[in-house]
Homo-oligomer: A and B are copies of this chain.
Amino acid sequence: MSDELLNMNDDASFITPEIIRAMEGILMVAIEPVPGELLAQLFEVPVSIVEEMAAQLSAVYEEAGHGFQLVQVAGGYRFQSHPVVSAYVERFVLDGQRARLSAAALETLAIVAYKQPISRLQIASVRGVDPDAVLRTLHSRGYVEQRGHDDGPGQAVLWGTTQLFLEKLGINSLGELPPLAEFVPDASVVEALENTLRISPLDDAGSAPDQNL
Q: Chain A interface (Cβ within 8 Å of chain B)? A: 17-26, 28-32, 34, 38, 42-43, 64-68, 79-82, 84-86, 88-89, 91-97, 119-120, 124-125, 128-130, 132-133, 136-137, 139-142, 149-150, 154-157, 164, 208-209
Shortest Cβ distance from A98 into chain B, in angstroms?
10
15 contacts across the A-B interface (CB closer than 8 A): A21-B82, A25-B81, A25-B86, A25-B88, A26-B81, A28-B80, A29-B89, A30-B96, A31-B137, A94-B149, A94-B156, A94-B208, A95-B154, A129-B140, A132-B164
**Distance from A143 Cβ to chain B, minimum over Cβ atoms (Å):** 9
- CB pair A141–B130 under 8 Å, yes or no, is yes
Closest chain-B Cβ to A65's Cβ sits at a distance in Å of: 6
A88 x B28 contact (CB < 8 A): no
- Also in contact, A31 and B94, with CB within 8 A (given A21-B67, A85-B21): no
Whether B140 pairs with A84 at a CB distance below 8 angstroms is no
Q: Say whether B21 contacts A66, CB under 8 Å.
A: yes
With A95-B156, A140-B31, A140-B128 as contacts: A82 and B25 at CB distance below 8 Å: yes
CB-CB under 8 A for A124 and B95, given A22-B85, A24-B68, A67-B24: no
With contacts A130-B142, A130-B164 taken as known, whether A154 is within 8 angstroms of B25 at the C-beta atoms is no
Query: In the complex, what's the smallest C-beta–C-beta distance from A188 to chain B, in angstroms?
Result: 11
Q: Which residue of B lies closest to A68 (CB)?
A: B28
CB distance from A137 to the nearest CB of B (A): 7
Looking at the assembled complex, report how far the CB atom of A22 sits from the nearest CB atom of chain B, in whole angstroms. 4
With a cutoff of 8 Å between Cβ atoms, the chain B residues found around residue A133 in the complex are 31-32, 164
Q: Which residue of B lies closest to A152 (CB)?
A: B95
